[in-house]
Amino acid sequence: YQNPPSEMAKDPVRFLQAMAQLPNFTALPSVLTIMSEAPEHRGVQEAGLQALLEHLQAAGQGSPAAYAMVTEGAIGLTIAAMRRMVASVHVQELGCGVIRGLSHAVPTSREEIVAAGGIDAVLVAAQTYQGDAAVQEQVCGALGNLA
């Protein structure tokens, strides 16, 4: 990421969307770096969370890809995005989905999620989007996994 290709520099959202399509999620470090370098860019956060969620769903429980997400900082970036972008229903839904997925795929991540404020972030999403079925579905899954 230190010498980004011109297409990434021009459109980081499109770049993240393309990264989500790579097999074996070889782009994880790039996705996390872009998310951390553009913390206020809603499109970047949405695309990054979407990429994390898609690969997490494809990877499955106990997979090396899921463990890599935990060890490389996906939990903190997810919760930070949720805290900064409470007004974005999409960030809240995706963030709860990532928390739900990580807490299922990597049971040892549950303590880190709780310590980082994950339950509070999920509860804020639940309260803020009481009428949104997609958010509530992810909230229930996340809280169920963290219980």
pLDDT in tens, 47-68: 999 999 988 888 888 888 889 9
Q: Decide: 105 and 58 in contact? Cβ < 8 Å.
A: no
pLDDT of 111 reads 96
pLDDT of 60 reads 80
Residue 123's H or E segment, with its range, is: helix 118-128
Q: Decide: 65 and 25 in contact? Cβ < 8 Å.
A: yes
Which residues neighbour 23 within 8 Å (Cβ) at sequence distance 6 or greater?
none
Query: In this model, does residue 72 exceed pLDDT 50?
Result: yes
Q: How many helices (H) and strands (E) does the chain have?
A: 10, 0
pLDDT of 61 reads 85
pLDDT of 82 reads 98
pLDDT of 92 reads 98
Query: In this model, does residue 1 exceed pLDDT 50?
Result: no
